[in-house]
Chains A and B, each alone.
Chain A
């Protein structure tokens, strides 16, 4: 005992040394993990701060003053209510984004009208009805669909859908709300499918068994049991789709026709907020009113995103409150 104890003592102290090092690095590791978590918040704040800072002169007025008879301060009422977007006019530049907002909303709403039923239906099929090979093939294909770059979708809208719509509707040009809506719908379907399929899969099988044992047929089981049980996930899927619709730039730039006008039907071309920023920011003179206004459009997009998320939160909470009564 007395002979072996020094050796074990030594080994013990060595191990303790290593443990000490680990103990010492522990706070650093914890700090790093905290930093990773906070970085998301920091990035969002930084983006918001930068966009807001760049848009501020449009509201408060340019510091250097107007260069050559330019608008010195943006009229916010005109900004939100005028459908005229003529930023580079030599006579009288006008900054109205109403037509752009209507463009974004109409394209997004149309795409959701197409994509939500299609996406939910596909998710139900993949998760509840398809089996074996077809199911695996479908899942791979849907994931592949999600990986197609948006410029390719824009190309499809421009080259494939455009002449088809001209043939079918008799309009002179097929680049309009309908075209962009279809392309955007096809782009959001894979997201909606994969997120809502996950939500449906997460419903335990015991729910399905219980529904079926009550004599429900499969559609009733899906509609009465699975949809309510997975509603939060399904809502998240739809919101991600809407988010994609509002944020998408390249495809809508290529498919909407990109002309500033108030649409009266889905066969009218429109221009969206995002496409305007993408197309014009590179050409705008840094520091002039046009430049700052484009950043203000970015703030408007922020507000849209915020409203969507808030609505979603309220809907989910509303469902919960109702359940507690």
Chain B
């Protein structure tokens, strides 16, 4: 089996706070990998460890080996290229202070695409995949920060798709988006997994059940268990998991 992301005995701590404890898991290519768990379980830290953005938190310390496409991320020299291979959608929508078009065209242009027509096509495709195209096609040169919260969130999805990442990390992408649009984006995600691996962190347990091929349950900095989504939801090995997915948690 060819894995996109592998964690081997990974520990992450912020000063004396442990954020991830002894994580071991493998995420296969071209799957949707769901991550569920209560707040403060280490889900976002998990994502940040993959593209090494943890390095920007000054007291963060990572131990163990994280393999990205078979390469240990610690040994990667060009960390910017690694980050371009990982598209991230953050829970709070962040339209960067440039035009809508520039928001999406920024990363492709950085990786060497300068042909105007090619860029325009790419921007349109990404915005369509993020279900935003129809709403903004007439005002692509408006500032991205002027969009509404839900629109900005979809803009970040388009932006994450713009550099054709190998892995798309979605950190609670549907918080600011209405249910109808959420369902449409979920359809797009199911199609996208032919092209990339998707890691879906979500508070909506049912969203993971609908979309994910495998699901992992994190609790209190630890990986409780992970496996095929149906198994996790119907007959998990751990009682905690069962309580969480059935809503009896806490």
Are A and B physically bound partners?
A: yes
Residues of A within 8 A of B (CB): 131-132, 204, 206-217, 220, 224-225, 228-229, 231, 323-325
**Chain B residue at minimum C-beta to C-beta distance from A320:** B143
Residue from A220, A229, A324 in contact with B97 in the complex, judged by beta carbons closer than 8 Å = A229
Which A residues touch B97, using CB under 8 A? 207, 225, 228-229, 231
Residue from B81, B86, B156 in contact with A210 in the complex, judged by beta carbons closer than 8 Å = B156
Take A323-B146, A324-B146 as given contacts and tell me if A214 and B94 are in contact as well, using a CB distance cutoff of 8 Å.
no
Q: Which 6 A-B pairs have the closest CB atoms?
A: A215-B84, A228-B97, A323-B143, A213-B88, A210-B94, A215-B83
| Residue tally, chain B, CB below 8 Å to A | 31
Which A residues touch B96, using CB under 8 A? 207, 210-211, 224-225, 228-229
**Nearest Cβ in chain B — how far from A129, in angstroms?**
11
Which A residues touch B87, using CB under 8 A? 213
Take A214-B106, A323-B146 as given contacts and tell me if A206 and B98 are in contact as well, using a CB distance cutoff of 8 Å.
no
Task: Tell me if A212 and B98 are in contact (CB < 8 A).
Answer: no
The answer to whether B249 has its CB under 8 Å from any CB of chain A is: no
CA distance A229 to B94 in the complex (A): 11
Which B residues touch A228, using CB under 8 A? 96-98
The answer to whether B163 has its CB under 8 Å from any CB of chain A is: yes
**Chain B residue at minimum C-beta to C-beta distance from A205:** B56
CA distance A211 to B51 in the complex (A): 13
14 CB contacts below 8 A, A to B, read: A131-B58, A206-B92, A207-B96, A207-B97, A213-B87, A213-B90, A213-B160, A214-B106, A215-B111, A217-B80, A220-B110, A229-B97, A229-B145, A323-B145
**Chain B residue at minimum C-beta to C-beta distance from A229:** B97
Which A residues touch B58, using CB under 8 A? 131-132
The answer to whether B148 has its CB under 8 Å from any CB of chain A is: no
CA distance A215 to B111 in the complex (A): 9
Take A324-B142, A324-B146 as given contacts and tell me if A215 and B110 are in contact as well, using a CB distance cutoff of 8 Å.
yes
Task: Tell me if A214 and B107 are in contact (CB < 8 A).
Answer: yes
The answer to whether B231 has its CB under 8 Å from any CB of chain A is: no
Residue from B90, B142, B163 in contact with A215 in the complex, judged by beta carbons closer than 8 Å = B163
Task: Tell me if B163 and A214 are in contact (CB < 8 A).
Answer: yes
CA distance A228 to B81 in the complex (A): 24
Task: Tell me if A224 and B142 are in contact (CB < 8 A).
Answer: no
**Nearest Cβ in chain B — how far from A213, in angstroms?**
4
Task: Tell me if A206 and B94 are in contact (CB < 8 A).
Answer: yes
- Chain B 88-106 near chain A by CB (<8 Å), digits 1 or 0: 1010101011100000001
CA distance A231 to B98 in the complex (A): 12
Take A210-B90, A224-B98, A225-B96 as given contacts and tell me if A215 and B81 are in contact as well, using a CB distance cutoff of 8 Å.
yes
**Nearest Cβ in chain B — how far from A135, in angstroms?**
11
Residue from B83, B106, B111, B141 in contact with A212 in the complex, judged by beta carbons closer than 8 Å = B83
Residue from A209, A224, A323, A324 in contact with B106 in the complex, judged by beta carbons closer than 8 Å = A224
**Chain B residue at minimum C-beta to C-beta distance from A211:** B96
**Chain B residue at minimum C-beta to C-beta distance from A208:** B56
**Chain B residue at minimum C-beta to C-beta distance from A217:** B80
Task: Tell me if B107 and A215 are in contact (CB < 8 A).
Answer: yes
Residue from A131, A132, A207, A324 in contact with B94 in the complex, judged by beta carbons closer than 8 Å = A207
CA distance A214 to B126 in the complex (A): 15
**Chain A residue at minimum C-beta to C-beta distance from B87:** A213
A213-B87, A215-B81, A215-B111 given; name 13 further pairs at CB < 8 Å: A207-B94, A209-B56, A210-B88, A210-B159, A214-B107, A215-B80, A215-B83, A215-B107, A220-B110, A224-B106, A229-B145, A323-B142, A324-B146
- In chain B, positions 102-147 with a C-beta closer than 8 Å to chain A are 106-107, 110-111, 139, 141-143, 145-146
Task: Tell me if B53 and A209 are in contact (CB < 8 A).
Answer: yes
Which B residues touch A210, using CB under 8 A? 88, 90, 94, 96, 156, 159
CA distance A220 to B139 in the complex (A): 25
CA distance A30 to B143 in the complex (A): 40
Which B residues touch A206, using CB under 8 A? 90, 92, 94
CA distance A156 to B51 in the complex (A): 51
Task: Tell me if B56 and A212 are in contact (CB < 8 A).
Answer: yes
Which A residues touch B92, using CB under 8 A? 206
CA distance A215 to B51 in the complex (A): 10
CA distance A217 to B111 in the complex (A): 13
Which B residues touch A220, using CB under 8 A? 110
**Nearest Cβ in chain B — how far from A36, in angstroms?**
35
**Nearest Cβ in chain A — how far from B16, in angstroms?**
17
**Nearest Cβ in chain B — how far from A243, in angstroms?**
26
- Chain B 48-62 near chain A by CB (<8 Å), digits 1 or 0: 000101001010000
**Nearest Cβ in chain A — how far from B232, in angstroms?**
28
**Nearest Cβ in chain A — how far from B70, in angstroms?**
20
**Chain A residue at minimum C-beta to C-beta distance from B169:** A213
Which A residues touch B142, using CB under 8 A? 323-325
CA distance A220 to B90 in the complex (A): 20
